[in-house]
């Protein structure tokens, strides 16, 4: 059978892992694909370093193994895109800039199968890339774009095609989960936990996208498209990070039998779809509360088959590369059977402020008699039933306490807070923190 010839663009952490697996497991992968899988060429600016780092033959690199300028690399890439000898291209350059975006479009238009781990590109600019793949009838593989080694994309696309997904909830960013786990287990501050994550290689020097929730948001956008057929822009998604989480919130979590996690959540109900990424108080009997460190986990609830949980490593060179290689093997076996006849979703996307959750609201006020009563009355006036009110924590002339609500909408909670501000402008010493509770 005709071999599947592969080119890799970029040989950094992920691309190098892909090349290493393809060269080390060439015979096994070819047997699984029922056809030879051959890595033909790699385009990399610094091939000598990549060759040594991943133990790769230098002759695999474009340009004979010499360092390339960006212009030289672009020239080699264009040659590969238009080469009749290349069937599939792996893009591991990363980023959302015009160069990578147009490169992805060019690959699809040239009718080369494309495999990518570029979650930010697919989430922010993926609509036209998916459309180009459809028009060219080529396979677009992106298993590695969501939670690394966890096969969530194939699970939704293939294993659940006989069911209807009701909700998706998950821990999809290892950096934030490591930080929150550290804060809980050792009682350290956010800054201390972040430093530990950076020291141990779980956080980048610039961890902004991890701690502000946008990395997780990109992954949720991709899953929302797969599960519900909804195309979302990142600015449509309600996203909050963990940078403002404080130690005392773990005390409040403990009081209500919960722990804090950064959760990606999407749900369909009565023809409407909601989605959010934010810190949540996860109840201790929910499996996600037990997922610690840099581990990722996704919980899916289906209409007919019930609850499913996938747990694994969400990042890493070889972990992510293994998902890319799985897409390559799938392409070798089934790419000629690609079918893009998916029905357009009839579901309506609704602002997360109208989504019903129980909430825990943390207030900082002056230590004045009657404060708790006034605040709980204002909450009740918005037709919100209160579950519990915590004990006040007193520090000098200030008080901190939390109110746990029964299920209501974020809009109701926000309206209650606005009423408090209007009637007692000096009562609140800071903006109340509103955190959903996940059962």
Q: Assign 4 to helix, strand or coil.
A: strand
| CA dist., res. 38 & res. 169, Å (int) | 38
The closest alpha carbon to 78, from 109, 56, 47, belongs to 109
Strand partners, 395: 398
Strand partners, 280: 261
Just list the catalytic residues.
219
CB 212 within 8 A of CB 241: yes
Task: Give the long-range contacts of residues 335-338, CB within 8 A, separation 24 or more.
Answer: 335/88, 335/113, 335/138, 335/139, 338/137, 338/138, 338/139
| CA dist., res. 115 & res. 325, Å (int) | 9
**b/e string for 353-363 if b means 16 or more Cβ within 10 A?**
eebebbbbbbb
CA-to-CA dists, residue 431 to 28, 378, 408, angstroms: 58, 16, 20
Q: Cβ-count burial of 416 within 10 angstroms (0-12 exposed, 13-18 middle, 19+ buried)?
A: buried
| CA dist., res. 320 & res. 421, Å (int) | 48
What are the backbone dihedrals phi and psi of residue 103, each rounded to the nearest 5 degrees, phi first?
-60, -45
Provide the residue count of the chain: 439
């Amino acid at each position: 059978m005709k071999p599947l010839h592969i080119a890799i663009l970029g040989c950094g952490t992920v691309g190098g892992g892909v090349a290493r697996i393809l060269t080390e497991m060439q015979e096994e992968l070819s047997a699984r694909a029922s056809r030879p899988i051959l890595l033909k060429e790699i385009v990399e600016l610094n091939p000598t370093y990549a060759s040594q780092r991943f133990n790769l033959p230098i002759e695999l690199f474009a340009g004979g193994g010499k360092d390339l300028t960006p212009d030289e690399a672009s020239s080699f890439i264009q040659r590969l895109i238009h080469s009749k000898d290349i069937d599939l291209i792996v893009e591991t350059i990363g980023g959302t800039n015009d160069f990578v975006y147009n490169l992805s479009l060019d690959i699809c238009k040239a009718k080369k199968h494309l495999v990518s781990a570029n979650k930010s590109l697919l989430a922010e600019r993926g609509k036209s890339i998916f459309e180009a793949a459809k028009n060219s009838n080529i396979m677009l593989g992106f298993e590695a774009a969501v939670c690394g080694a966890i096969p969530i994309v194939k699970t939704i696309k293939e294993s659940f095609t006989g069911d209807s997904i009701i909700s998706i909830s998950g821990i999809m960013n290892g950096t934030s989960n490591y930080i929150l786990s550290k804060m809980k287990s050792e009682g350290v501050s956010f800054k201390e936990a972040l430093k530990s994550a950076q020291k141990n290689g779980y956080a980048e020097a610039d961890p902004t996208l991890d701690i502000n929730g946008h990395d997780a948001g990109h992954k949720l956008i991709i899953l929302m498209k797969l599960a519900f057929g909804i195309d979302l822009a990142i600015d449509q998604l309600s996203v909050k990070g963990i940078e403002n989480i404080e130690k005392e919130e773990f005390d409040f979590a403990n009081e209500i039998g919960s722990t804090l996690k950064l959760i990606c959540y999407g749900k369909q109900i009565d023809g409407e779809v909601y989605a959010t990424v934010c810190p949540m108080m996860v109840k201790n009997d929910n499996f996600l509360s037990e997922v610690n460190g840099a581990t990722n986990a996704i919980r899916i609830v289906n209409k007919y088959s019930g609850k499913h949980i996938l747990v694994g490593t969400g990042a890493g060179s070889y972990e992510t590369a293994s998902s890319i290689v799985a897409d390559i093997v799938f392409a070798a076996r089934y790419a000629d059977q690609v079918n893009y006849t998916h029905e357009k979703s009839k579901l309506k996307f609704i602002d997360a402020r109208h989504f019903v959750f129980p909430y825990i609201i943390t207030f900082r006020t002056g230590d004045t008699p009657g404060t708790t009563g006034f605040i709980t009355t204002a909450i009740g006036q918005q037709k919100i039933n209160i579950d519990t009110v915590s004990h006040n924590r007193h520090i000098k002339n200030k008080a901190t306490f939390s109110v746990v609500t029964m299920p209501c909408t974020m809009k109701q909670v926000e309206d209650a807070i606005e009423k408090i501000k209007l009637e007692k402008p000096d009562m609140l010493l800071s903006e109340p923190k509103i955190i959903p509770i996940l059962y």
